[in-house]
Chains A and B, each alone.
Chain A
Amino acid sequence: MRARIFIVLVFVFAARAALAQELTPQQEAEVHAIGNHANCLCGCLTTINECPHPHCAMKAQERAVIIADVKAGDNEPKVIQDLVLKYGVKILPSPPAKGFNLTAWILPGVGLLGGLVVAVDITRRWRKARVAGPAEQPAPDPNLLAAIEEEMKDVLS
């Protein structure tokens, strides 16, 4: 228990120390970019940058981690990895492309291609049936033909 408290205190002090130093414009830009690629976990269902709550403690906490990591020289993948370790994969705005989560990415494409195969197959079968022997066309309705003629006369008059 003491060890845990010690770790938390070290983390809090480290974060405060990191925050105490000004960010360079480049680091500021990196922090902002990462903020677009990580969710705020306060329940707003938006990214850290888009969270609409001005005094959101969760957003502040996550930003502190990002700032600390950026100041330590970590690049974006490393910072994101750190965030995932601390908060879990739910911090990512989309599922990582591995394990079961890979299916999230693959299946829409499979569905699209599968649909294409079905659509092409349907058109081919329709065409084959037509080539083999055209379906008997019902005789056109004379009333309908008369109406079309009237309509055409009317349009072109």
Chain B
Amino acid sequence: MDRLGSVGLIAALGFAIYGMVAGAVAGKLRSARILKSAERAALGFLGLITMAVFALEYLILTNNFHIAYVAEHSNRSLPVYYKIPVLWSGQEGSLLFWTWLLSIYIGAIVLLNRKKHRQLMPYVISICLGVGTFFSLITLLVANPFLVLSLTGAHGLAPYTPVDGGGLNPALQYPSMVIHPPMLYLGYVGMVVPFAFAMSALITKQPGDNWIRVTRRWAMVPWMFLGFGIILGGNWAYFVLGWGGYWGWDPVENASLLPWLAGTAFLHSVMIQEKRGMLKVWNIVLVIGMFFLSIFGTFLTRSGVVSSVHAFAQSNIGPFFAVFLGVIVLFSLTVLFLRLDFLKSDNRLDSVLSRESGFLFNNWILLSAVFAVLWGTIFPILSKAVEHVTVTVGPPFFNRVMVPMGLLLLFLTGAGPLLAWRKTSWDSLKRNFAIPMGIAAVTGIILYAAGVRYFYSWMALFLCAFVASSVIGEFYKGALTRMKFAGENFLQAIYNLTMRNTRRYGGYVVHLGIVMLFVGFAGLAFKKQATALMQPGDLMHIKDYLIRCETLKSGDTPNYVYETADLSVVKDGHALGILRPQKRFYKASQQPISHVAVHSTLSEDLYVVLEGRDQATGKAIIQAFVNPLVTWVWLGGSVVFLGSLLALIPSRVERAMDEIRKPKQEVAEKEHAG
């Protein structure tokens, strides 16, 4: 089976190289026959990488410990549902997984565009398979997951099969870890597709604006997955790492945030290009930035250049990625430079008070945030190079720099929908802002009276009220119009309004999700923490919670041994039940890990960790946190995901517009081809 996997990888590399060259030739010669061949190569690439992935999964599931990767990352007693994620738990397997997701994207592009975008497709396939070639090469030559273990003996190298494997990292044995990496990778990998479409449009000088809509749709998909992956990662960190938080501004966390922020900027500024034919160069720069940052994030996670709890083991793949990043920059900037004349703006700004300028300033904040996060993430490397001193750039730095930017962005999230395209008069500005600002002001006063005095938290909640009322106002106004003229009831009106323009109202749902996220972030300032040594009968107080240790139990499973503390919790005289934090010690990897117990409500979480036993007294070390508003982060992340899904559904308006544009686009493409 390992040979099948290796053969699959070698053949996939061949198909990728062929498809990359054939695609470029088909584009140059405008040959439908060669394009067909390139498309088949792309589908072959998908089939062969799939074969390699299934071969590796088979080796993992059947405990083939003669394969180095399986021996290092799996073991016999690992439950089946945790054997599947072994595929992406190590450097080699996760690179194969990356390549597989890329091949799925490529396959989807080929199958979905059999009759569409025929001028773009040759170069799209060529660029995607160019990236596929790089990842296949790395997987085959530098980080091969099919390498066989061997021992050096008197007669040279001899095959070696250990009795059992080293086991999966205990921190990865958690349900959300099964879906967090695939989501994140779907985000990272998918950034290739909008990049390929944008570059192809520039190379072929595509007429019309159809290509930017395609690029936008394909950018929306990875952006959605990346955002959801980031939230799942935060959820994993919160429930597994046991430090009471969900975001630590770790370099690898930052690496995932960078393409998401650039993608957010693109998804806003692309609207200016679609509606007004402006910011064309800027949008291309953003698409390049998204792709570059996604590969840069992969490089940071895997090269060992930064220290991180999430990073893979240090390896020698860094230089290869550095060269690849250089190739991306060189290629994309050359194409951009050669096609600058093709990207002239069709229109000018009518007024500073307009939706266009709102998006421009939104891009300003988002790109400043990208720069700040990138700068903070790479600063330790620069400091080491310049001053030969290791510094840490941690949460205090990022919080000080990023919180004001986040609040500015939150304000623009609410202000944007209140601005009209082209020009907003002062009167309409005052009228549109009056109610949301009034609601925000009342909320601010109530919060202040309720004792919310920490400025940033107060401001965040004040702005959340502003944005929420501005967005809900948009739904309400639209629904009222439909109720008045179409005779629908409120719910029907909301449904039809949303489904008629899923992109716009899906976007508003995403904004509501962002508001919920910020509500969660605002709670961080009010976190409480306490530690106590406990044995049965002992009590611990934190905020208005009373925690009593009932029992301390230990047990054994094939995979790990554990200790559990049964803690009964009482708040304001009401029993809330039993919390059971657990400390596990995994046998194969010989590593301990805490499984926290959480009592969640919308207002706060009581979060309890069993850290272990105090060596002197033998008592359990219990650490408790009261984390206000954390549930809003998970809810907000889910709403952002659902809103993005909604925005991806083609709406009735969009379908009608596509039908109208189609003949014109076809004529333009024919003229261009001729």
Contact = CB atoms under 8 A, between A and B. Distances in A.
Contacts of A3: none
A101 B594 contact: no
A83 to B, nearest CB: 13
Interface stretch (B384-392, B446-454, B573-581): B384-392
B572 interface: no
Interface in A102-150: 104-105, 107-109, 111-112, 115-116, 118-119, 122-123, 126-127, 129-130, 134-135, 137-138, 141, 143-144, 147
A135 B372 CA distance: 36
Given A54-B612, A127-B349, A46 B243 contact: yes
Interface stretch (B510-518, B626-634, B641-649, B656-664): B656-664
Contact of B375 (A50, A111, A122): A111
A5 B349 CA distance: 74
Contacts of A47: 394
Contacts, number: 150
B361 interface: yes
B612 A94 contact: no
Contact of A50 (B244, B396, B401): B244
B405 A112 contact: yes
A151 B481 contact: no
A54 B616 CA distance: 13
A104 B393 contact: yes
A155 B500 CA distance: 9
A97 B500 CA distance: 53
A115 B392 contact: no
Interface in B299-351: 307-309, 345-350
A143 B661 CA distance: 9
Contacts of B242: 52
Nearest to A95: B391
Interface in A6-39: 37, 39
A100 B360 contact: no
Interface in A54-110: 54-55, 88-96, 99-101, 104-105, 107-109
Contacts of B248: 45-46
Contact of B392 (A95, A137, A156): A95
Contacts of B664: 141, 143
A45 B307 contact: yes
B594 A52 contact: yes
B390 A94 contact: no
B361 A119 contact: yes
Contacts of A129: 348
Nearest to A138: B346
A93 B392 contact: yes
B347 A155 contact: no
Contacts of B395: 93
Contacts of B390: 88-90
B58 interface: no
Given A45-B248, A100-B383, A111-B368, A39 B486 contact: no
B352 interface: yes
Contacts of B393: 94-95, 104
A49 B396 CA distance: 14
B546 interface: no
Contacts of A101: 383, 387, 391
Contacts of A88: 389-390
Nearest to B396: A94
Given A94-B392, A119-B361, A127 B387 contact: no
Given A45-B250, A88-B390, A104 B349 contact: no
A155 B481 contact: yes
A89 B389 contact: yes
A112 B361 CA distance: 11
Given A52-B241, A119-B364, A134 B376 contact: no
B615 A55 contact: yes
B347 A135 contact: yes
A49 B660 contact: no
A55 B486 contact: no
Given A46-B248, A155-B481, A123 B348 contact: no
A149 to B, nearest CB: 12
A156 B485 contact: yes
Nearest to B250: A45
A144 B660 contact: yes
A130 B383 contact: no
A115 B367 contact: yes
Contacts of B389: 88-90
Contacts of B349: 123, 126-127, 130
B348 A100 contact: no
B428 interface: no
B197 to A, nearest CB: 24
Contacts of A90: 389-392
A48 to B, nearest CB: 12
B394 A157 contact: no
A99 B657 CA distance: 58
B489 interface: no
Contacts of B383: 95, 100-101, 104
B357 interface: yes
A45 B594 contact: no
A37 B393 CA distance: 12
Interface in B350-380: 350, 352, 357, 360-361, 363-365, 367-368, 371-372, 375-376, 379
A15 B387 CA distance: 32
Contact of A94 (B245, B357, B394, B594): B394
Max chain A Cβ within 10 angstroms of own Cβ: one of B346, B394, B664: B394
B59 to A, nearest CB: 31
Nearest to A108: B372
Contacts of B250: 45
Given A50-B243, A50-B245, A147-B657, A43 B392 contact: no
Contact of B243 (A52, A100, A144): A52
A51 B389 CA distance: 23
B621 interface: yes
Contacts of A93: 392, 394-397
Contacts of B205: none
B307 A115 contact: no
B668 interface: no
B373 to A, nearest CB: 9
Q: Which of A37, A88, A91, A112 has the most CB of B within 10 A?
A: A112
Contact of B348 (A92, A135, A141): A135
Contacts of B241: 52
28 contacts: A43-B307, A45-B248, A52-B242, A52-B594, A54-B613, A55-B612, A88-B389, A93-B396, A94-B392, A94-B393, A94-B394, A94-B396, A95-B383, A95-B393, A108-B372, A108-B376, A108-B401, A111-B368, A112-B368, A112-B405, A119-B363, A119-B364, A127-B352, A135-B345, A144-B657, A151-B656, A155-B486, A155-B500
Given A45-B250, A93-B395, A157-B485, 6 more contacts: A39-B394, A46-B243, A46-B248, A54-B621, A123-B349, A156-B485
Smallest CB-CB A-B distances: 7 pairs? A126-B349, A54-B612, A54-B611, A108-B372, A94-B397, A93-B394, A130-B348
Interface of A: 37, 39, 43-47, 49-52, 54-55, 88-96, 99-101, 104-105, 107-109, 111-112, 115-116, 118-119, 122-123, 126-127, 129-130, 134-135, 137-138, 141, 143-144, 147, 151, 155-157
